[in-house]
Structure 1
Amino acid sequence: MAINPLAQFSRLRLLVVCEPDEDGQSLLRHLQRSRAQVRHQWPAPDRIGENADVLFCEYGPGLGNRLAWMPGEAEAALIVLLPQNVRLDYHELHVACPNAVLSRPYQPHLIDAAMLLAFDQFAFFRRQKTRIARMEENARAMRDIEKAKQLIMRRNRINETEAFRVLRDMAMKKRVTVASLASKLVDTSDSLV
């Protein structure tokens, strides 16, 4: 017995913005079998993709500008539904930045493949974005710690090792991290200048 790959998506909110023709109805029925929360909107609203984890959206002019997020800041996996026998504006498609595309007529195995690909790619993008944010936060903390050590070294006329020990001891007494204490010290010294 074949296992439905979409079963793992039962907790997701799917938004389908497509014409309710035969292909659109077929897509909706297939997605509803996943037991996910499936909403259908037609005609397409001015802002597309709010309150969704995965967005299935008809290709059309201005799609990238109608999405509910800024380019590169996607809040949902995007699957663009391509029309049959229509010339595509590839720049327009590029601006929308889809995670997958699906062309008519929609076939169940291709819907599943597009959904898996889009959601996996979107999840990877989110993990990378979180990792980058943590790295930036760590770099900012290291800069603040270095500046705080310099302040302590100048104020107490001690070397770098002793300055870090003073900073660490102060953080332990106040029960805060060295990074947060260093940030406060730097902010305070900047405001005095």
Structure 2
Amino acid sequence: MATGDLPGKRHKLKVLLKTGLHKMTNVEVLKERRTRPQQPATRTGATNSRSHDRVAADLQIALIVELDADGAFLMRELQRLRYTVRHFWPVPAQIPENFDVVYCTLVEDLPRRIPWLPGEPATALVLVDKGRDALNLKLIHNCAAHGLIHFPATARSTISSLTMAREHFLYEQRLRGRIEKLDESLRTVRTVERAKSIVMQVKRVSEEEAFNHLRNQAMERRVTIGAVANAIIDSHELLG
């Protein structure tokens, strides 16, 4: 064997050894992946529950029930979920408004004890039915509550009634916000129409020209067209 061929053969031998080791390593990795025990998947429900607990820890809850066995259980469940709970008994003459959620025993004159107007609740209201008498559906309707829980309560019914009541209340708030914006838009449209007619009479211009005048005035003063319209109406009324 020629001495000059030795370096080349040694180089080829090194390449073959590296290739073989690389293939063996890949095979070992594949075997490890196949034999490795799979980690249990995270339970979405548990994660959501923990997230809900973190959010719900800020909730202030008024509990207006008699602290018998059922009432005490409900209070323990709410406290176990890390809510801040304040107990009231008997039912106060006026339902407190400075809470995020109010659990209140269903009594005959409860609608008169609710301080807010129907459709404009100050807090989420959950009615508590003791489960002793027949349900008074008319009374429940008149209370306009966001949820209802029956005694004896369970852990599941407690968290369900609270979540549904809270979501219902927040949904109502969003709807009221949209309605208020729509009402404001309608008022602005009426005001602009009235201001347009004044401009048309005073300047003897067309409807389009009157609107352009209002818009230009609003752009120059960097205010809304509704503000310009209000100013024109007020000035016109002052001048008679």
Distance in 2 (alpha carbons) for counterparts of 1:147 and 1:15:
49
Q: Percent identity?
A: 32
Match of 2:115 in 1: 68
Match of 1:43 in 2: 90
Q: Is the CA contact (8 Å cut-off) linking 1:18 and 1:24 kept in structure 2?
A: yes
- Report the structure number with the largest CA radius of gyration: 2
TM-score by length of 2: 0.75
Aligned runs of 1:71-86 on 2, under 5 Å? 71-86=118-133
SS class of match (1:72): coil
**Cα offset for 1:59?**
0.7
Distance in 1 (alpha carbons) for counterparts of 2:159 and 2:230:
48
**Cα offset for 1:6?**
4.6
Q: Deviations over 1:6-44 (max 9, x none)?
A: 543222221110001121111112112333322111112
Q: Deviations over 1:144-190 (max 9, x none)?
A: 11111111111111122221221122222332111122123223334
Distance in 1 (alpha carbons) for counterparts of 2:98 and 2:194:
43
Match of 2:225 in 1: 178
**Cα offset for 1:71?**
2.3
Query: 5+ unaligned residues in a row in structure 1: which ranges?
Result: none
SS class of match (2:216): helix
SS class of match (2:149): strand
Which amino acid in 2 is paired with 1:25? A
TM-score by length of 1: 0.92
Aligned runs of 1:88-127 on 2, under 5 Å? 88-127=135-174
**Cα offset for 1:51?**
0.6
Does structure 1 residue 166 correspond to structure 2 residue 213? yes
**Cα offset for 1:130?**
1.1
Task: Give the root-mean-square deviation of aligned CA atoms.
Answer: 1.7
Among 200, 203, 213, the residue aligned to 1:153: 200
Query: 5+ unaligned residues in a row in structure 2: which ranges?
Result: 1-42
Match of 1:136 in 2: 183
**Cα offset for 1:191?**
5.0
Q: How many residues align?
A: 193
- Stretches of 4+ aligned residues off by more than 3 angstroms: 4-7, 190-193
- The structure richer in helix per residue is 2
SS class of match (2:104): strand
Distance in 1 (alpha carbons) for counterparts of 2:212 and 2:171:
39
Distance in 2 (alpha carbons) for counterparts of 1:179 and 1:157:
21
Distance in 1 (alpha carbons) for counterparts of 2:151 and 2:110:
18
The change in CA–CA distance for 1:105 and 1:6 in structure 2 (over 3 A counts) is: farther
Match of 1:57 in 2: 104
Match of 1:187 in 2: 234
Structure number with greater CO (CA < 8 Å, separation at least 6) is 1
Distance in 2 (alpha carbons) for counterparts of 1:191 and 1:29:
65
Which amino acid in 1 is paired with 2:233? V
